[in-house]
A and B are shown apart, each in its own frame.
Chain A
């Protein structure tokens, strides 16, 4: 039963990945002429367009192009940046452009996850355990405020306070790749802080909600009437039942970091994958957009899969069938 459930999730995840790749491909490739005319720009003549289309394989039917693209993707060949994202980069293999950017983004997201997850679990549990107190109310109100404001407000406010008025940190986070130690930390500090604030608020709220939801169940009342101390009730009776929902919340919010990363990298001019993608969208460099989108969506799907797995594993009904 357990194994079947896990296999089912794996299969669902793979199908979702394929569907997403189709969506991305359709989203960017249904207009066959586009890439060629973008590359040639105003110099396009009907003949040169046709010639370029056939070199790029654009004259093939859409489903063939999809399979070619998917095949390349699976063999690690992300293609060539066709329109180029700026002078001189036209024709660069996408994997070369992506590799350093991806590393930067992973650093940023990793730092955020390391800080945000324990921080927000702690605050969420504290708020739930002391529901109704002043601590709970201030946590609830602050996080409600933070989840409903745009990421760029958090970022600009932090820059104004920390960088401009206090002068502690630089206002931008340009990383050339050679920085080490303090310089790297300083560059990463503000983007990380912004994302931590944004991601934690959501996790805190939902951790609190899931624990409170469990805390209102009859078996918790039973535990109270057995004379158990509050700590034990929260940690031993409520938490195991809230693990499934909480892991889900964490995974979803780490996935939600994707959009946060896009905004934050832009604000701080941080050279990550998301900034690369936004630039690619602006220059309509479709192959590059496709590759970046595939990477982000795969990360998202993997996180959701991990969350599903955790909630399956935390359910005794599935672990110990009758």
Chain B
């Protein structure tokens, strides 16, 4: 029997170093990579969509475009046309090009959702850390307030506020960010409390560090990665929420095109098999599913702590 190679007690650093662990790197599954590709595609569309769209979002397509040679119909219908060479994804209830409206709408839907998510994060994280680090009184008053907001279904809160203030972009963004800030608050506070009681924060306090330094150097860095996957989930919920409101006619108002609204305005075509309501709904789905696939990979990487979060 041969002696162990890195036998303990030779020199002390090799002694403790016999089992160094490699850092785990984030790897994406095939599903995750597909998700990233879809997200990149839609991000590109947000940037360049209106320039590559074949028509303007509000442009009614000319009847002349739909005249089929050989068929004796000088005034063909332009609404709810099936996909074809003129309109790749067909036309909507007013005879506008669905593809063009989809490309213009990407900017509204994704843009507003992103702004609302960022705002929700700003509010939620600030208050969450304040609650975690600011002592018992501040924590319990913020938490009670938050519980109240969370104790209503989001859509109810949305309907109540819109019934009072009407629907406009500022109202929508403010409403959405406040509603979702409450979930961000809950998670940020939980992570914050977790970190605040850890020994390394105690070590900093014993050293005499101020609260500000502790928050910046000890608390925030530990929250970034786990909160990143939550950001993805929250973004998905916000897209779904805002599209839902638009679908109910209470979100983004015409003539601005947005995906939820496009489903609503074309619903009348559904019984006749028009795909105009289906296309924007599918567009939302591709984006939200893609984000979820990426989030799944990230949260599997750090132990899936957030996989159970729903509200």
Contact = CB atoms under 8 A, between A and B. Distances in A.
Direct contact of A and B (CB under 8 A): yes
Interface of A: 16, 19-20, 23-24, 27-31, 34, 144-145, 147-153, 156-157, 159-160, 163-165, 171-172, 202, 206, 209-210, 213, 252, 255-256, 258-259, 262-263, 266-267, 277-278, 280-282, 284-286, 289-290, 293, 296-297, 300-301, 304
Interface stretch (B10-18, B90-98, B132-140, B152-160): B152-160
Given A20-B148, A157-B278, A258-B155, A206 B310 contact: yes
Given A19-B151, A20-B148, A209-B307, A148 B236 contact: yes
B282 interface: yes
Interface in B287-311: 288-289, 291-293, 296, 307-308, 310-311
Contacts of B270: 156, 159-160, 164, 171
Contact of B288 (A148, A165, A206): A148
Nearest to A159: B270
B99 interface: no
Interface string B241-259: 0011001111000000000
A284 to B, nearest CB: 6
Contact of A280 (B152, B163, B292): B163
B310 A150 contact: no
B267 interface: yes
A156 B266 CA distance: 11
A289 B293 CA distance: 37
Interface string B145-180: 001110111111101111110100000000000000
Given A149-B285, A171-B271, A209-B307, A27 B244 contact: no
A212 to B, nearest CB: 10
Task: Pick the 3 closest A-B CB pairs, nearest first.
Answer: A153-B281, A149-B285, A259-B155
Contacts of A255: 153
A255 B163 CA distance: 22
A150 B308 contact: no
A262 B249 CA distance: 12
8 contacts: A27-B161, A28-B163, A28-B164, A145-B289, A156-B263, A252-B310, A256-B153, A267-B267
Interface in B180-218: none
Contacts of B163: 28, 280-281, 284-286, 289
A202 B164 contact: no
A79 B198 CA distance: 54
Main secondary structure of the interface of B (DSSP, over half): helix
Interface residues of B, number: 49
Nearest to A151: B244
A153 B153 contact: no
A16 B151 contact: yes
A70 to B, nearest CB: 16
A30 B250 CA distance: 20
Nearest to A299: B153
Contacts of A266: 247-248
In the complex, which of the residues B156, B157, B307 has the most CB atoms of chain A within 10 Å of its own CB atom? B156
Contact of A281 (B250, B307, B310): B250
Contacts of B281: 149-150, 152-153, 156-157
Contacts of B162: 281
A151 B263 CA distance: 11
Contacts of A206: 308, 310
A31 B291 contact: no
Nearest to B164: A28
B148 A286 contact: no
Contact of B285 (A19, A150, A160, A164): A150
